[in-house]
Amino acid sequence: MSFASSAEPRHHPDCCMAISQPLLHTLSNLLPNGPAISVLSIGSGTGLLESLLSEMLDDSYDVCGVEVSPNVNKYLPEENMFFVGGTWDLCTQAGRSKVWMFTYPRDPKLIVRYLDIYDHAGLSKLIWLGPKMDWQDYEGVFASSRFSNLTILEDCGMASYEMVVVAELSGSP
Ligand SMILES: C[S@@+](CC[C@H](N)C(=O)[O-])C[C@H]1O[C@@H](n2cnc3c(N)ncnc32)[C@H](O)[C@@H]1O
């Protein structure tokens, strides 16, 4: 991989989110422990962030991506990619994944649809990454779901205008 993550958040043309080593550590620490943890990044783009995250994890984690066009992915192995028929379409793999990630999603309605159709007992955490100014469009989606326990992370390796939000089950500590 041609991208070496740095201590400070740095932009790469292949990822909307600025990437840093601390951000990757933050994300890896957010993932649940377990024998088989499947992470699905919905709208994974080139897969750069997902691929770097995957490199930090042991074999018990399986980081996959979903995209609309097969031409977009550059970094995730083919077998870790799923494709949908259009921006309105959903990926059935979501119904088997323990964690969903949304990095710079374009439309809150996509998350609403995933929660309506593919929320399942094994789903334990949703991770949203994006610009702080976009969060207001998404907060209500999570707040009105069973993943309404929201933790906002700032200054853990993100750019100053970006943040990570962890949405967990409303009963979780
Ligand atoms: C703003 S880009 C972000 C890409 C990547 N996460 C990043 O941070 O660089 C949003 C991505 O979501 C993808 N997308 C839009 N609708 C989707 C859908 N229904 N399922 C999967 N991906 C979708 C687009 O193709 C696009 O690559």
- The pLDDT score that the predictor gives to residue 3 is 72
> Does ligand 1 have an atom closer than 6 angstroms to the CB of 51?
no
Cα separation of 75 and 38, whole Å? 18
Ordered DSSP codes for 4-34: ---SS-EEETTEEEEE-HHHHHHHHHHSPPS
Return the residue whose CA atom lies nearest to atom 25 of ligand 1. 68
Q: What is the dihedral of CA 86, 102, 53, 157, to 10 degrees?
A: 140
How many Å separate Cα 158 from the centre of its chain?
14
The answer to whether the CB of 153 falls within 8 A of the CB of 130 is: no
Q: What's the maximum distance between 2 C-alpha atoms anywhere in the chain?
A: 42
Q: Whose CA is nearest to atom 12 of ligand 1?
A: 43
**CA separation, residue 128 to residues 4, 73, 88, 118 (Å):** 23, 20, 19, 17
Mean pLDDT of the chain: 96
Segment 6-16 mean pLDDT: 95
Q: Measured in angstroms, how far is the CA atom of residue 173 from the centroid of ligand 1? A: 31
Please tell me if the CB atom of residue 43 comes closer than 6 angstroms to any atom of ligand 1: yes
Quick check: 41 pLDDT over 80? yes
> Rounded to the nearest whole angstrom, what is the distance from the C-alpha of residue 171 to the centroid of ligand 1?
30
Residue 42 Cβ < 6 Å to ligand 1: yes
Distance from the CA of 53 to the center of ligand 1, in angstroms?
A: 17
Q: With a 6 A CB cut-off, is 15 part of the ligand 1 pocket?
A: yes
Place of tokens 């967990």: 168
Residue to mutate (ligand 1; options 10, 14, 44; most atoms within 8 A of CB): 44
* Domains with residue ranges and CATH for the chain: 17-168 (3.40.50.150)
pLDDT at 166: 98
Q: Is the pLDDT of residue 1 over 70?
A: no
**In the predicted structure, residue 24 carries a pLDDT above the cut 80:** yes
Asked whether the predicted pLDDT for residue 32 surpasses 90, the reply is: yes
Average pLDDT of the residues in 106-126: 98
pLDDT of residue 2: 59
Please, which residues bridge with residue 128 across strands?
102, 165
